[in-house]
Amino acid sequence: MDTRPTLGPADRDYVYAVARRVVHGADADDVAQDALLLAHRHRDSFRGHAQLRTWLYRIAMTAAFGYLRKRRRSRELLEGTVPGDEPVDPQPSPEATVAAREVAVIAHRLVAALAPKYRDVVMLRIDHSEDETAARLGISVANVKIRAHRARAQLHEAFAW
């Protein structure tokens, strides 16, 4: 009896949906086709320990990330740059400077508006580790993590307006 998986139309649609989550536009078609081709070629490697969809998901994600890696490499070669080798503008534009200042003022106001127990954790974590922050505040490291998480959630919500 043949235990190799047979891919139906629902499986093809699933692979395409997974590819579309990572790669947008017409490129998702190419990624899905590559993933389906890989699944067909390597169908003997499917052992049945997991569901077929789990196996297909992994293949589709691998194909999508491989596609993105190739595209990034080819773009770097065309531009003649190496990652991290981009020229740095020594002087930011006046607009960027003003915008950065405005964001800093808003961030300071939002941090100042936090409850003292959250504000203290946020301010200490700028320069100190979680262990040092816990020791300075006389609380556990777990409590530092909880307060930092809650503070970030409040700041995120406030920034989202």
pLDDT reading at 39 higher than 80 = yes
Which pLDDT band, with edges at 50, 70 and 90, does 97 fall under? confident
pLDDT of the residue at 114: 92
For the chain, the average pLDDT equals 84
Q: Which domains does the chain have, with CATH numbers?
A: 9-79 (1.10.1740.10), 108-160 (1.10.10.10)
pLDDT of the residue at 89: 58
pTM of the model: 0.45
Lowest mean pLDDT among 21-30, 68-77, 129-138: 68-77
- pLDDT (tens digit, 9 = 90+) per residue, 131-148? 999 999 999 999 999 999
* DSSP one-letter code for 44: G
pLDDT of the residue at 75: 73
Distance (Å, whole) CA 144 – CA 135? 10
Which of these, 148, 141, 144, 142, lies nearest to 114 by C-alpha position? Answer: 148
- pLDDT (tens digit, 9 = 90+) per residue, 103-116? 888 888 889 999 99
Token digits for 137?
């505040």
Distance (Å, whole) CA 100 – CA 139? 34
Which pLDDT band, with edges at 50, 70 and 90, does 42 fall under? confident
Q: Count the Cβ atoms, other than its own, within 10 Å of residue 119.
A: 16
pLDDT of the residue at 116: 94
